[in-house]
């Protein structure tokens, strides 16, 4: 797993969503044997992110991925967290995958659950579908409007260089908002 490029996991997650798009009222059960491929792809992405972003400005980072307890979350994600930041309460960098598998939205975000007062980009204003849409079914999982610097990456991702640059830019923003040393 360790030598697999980030693009392979990115594309595998998108391809899973293309075959299994989010359909309201039709959850995907996490214990279904057919879900092994997505669990493996998310775990592989987590490992690559942990290896690539273990530290930033000499500060240790951690990575959390979407899991789900009994149902697979509508919005699959991988969060790169500075110290003391949590997915439900923090400022961090995230890769959120589109609900139809068209790609991912990447950037610095504030937690949807606990707003930190950051100036975020209003990407979605109505019910229409965006080119990369990362809104889940409930108000707590509508992520389109929590990004400070959203950037869309489309499937198939052939080169991870632009993704890497945007992740680093997003980490810089997060560190700045958190007033961490740089």
Cα distances (angstroms) measured from residue 27 to each of 31, 35, 117: 12, 12, 32
User: What pLDDT shows up at residue 3?
Assistant: 73
The tokens for 65 are 């991925």
Nearest to 134 by CA among 171, 160, 95: 95
User: Which residue has better confidence, 96 or 126?
Assistant: 96
Nearest to 38 by CA among 64, 61, 63, 68: 68
The tokens for 56 are 């930033």
pLDDT digits (tens, 9 = 90+) for 102-146: 999 999 999 998 999 999 999 998 877 899 999 988 888 899 999
pLDDT digits (tens, 9 = 90+) for 9-64: 999 999 999 999 988 888 899 888 889 999 999 999 999 999 999 999 999 999 99
Q: What is the DSSP letter of 154?
A: E
Distance CA 45, CA 47 (A): 5
User: What pLDDT shows up at residue 2?
Assistant: 52
Q: Write out the E strands in 24-154.
A: 55-56, 59-60, 62-65, 77-81, 91-97, 103-110, 151-154
Distance CA 149, CA 176 (A): 13
User: What pLDDT shows up at residue 118?
Assistant: 97
Classify 95 as helix, strand or coil.
Answer: strand
pTM value > 0.75? yes
């Amino acid at each position: 797993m360790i030598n697999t490029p980030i693009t392979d996991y990115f594309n595998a997650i998108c391809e899973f969503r293309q075959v299994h798009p989010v359909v309201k009222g039709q959850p995907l059960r996490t214990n279904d044997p057919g879900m092994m491929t997505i669990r493996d792809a998310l775990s592989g992405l987590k490992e690559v992110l942990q290896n690539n972003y273990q530290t930033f400005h000499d500060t240790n980072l951690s990575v959390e991925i979407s899991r789900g307890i009994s149902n697979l979350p509508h919005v699959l994600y991988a969060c790169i967290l500075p110290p003391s930041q949590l997915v439900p309460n923090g400022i961090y960098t995230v890769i959120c995958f589109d609900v139809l598998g068209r790609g991912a939205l990447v950037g610095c975000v504030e937690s949807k659950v606990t707003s930190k007062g950051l100036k975020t980009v209003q990407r979605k204003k109505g019910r229409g579908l965006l080119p990369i849409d990362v809104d889940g079914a409930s108000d707590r999982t509508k992520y389109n409007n929590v990004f400070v610097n959203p950037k869309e990456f489309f499937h198939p991702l052939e080169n991870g260089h632009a993704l890497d640059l945007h992740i680093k830019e997003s980490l810089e923003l997060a560190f700045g908002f958190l007033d961490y040393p740089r």
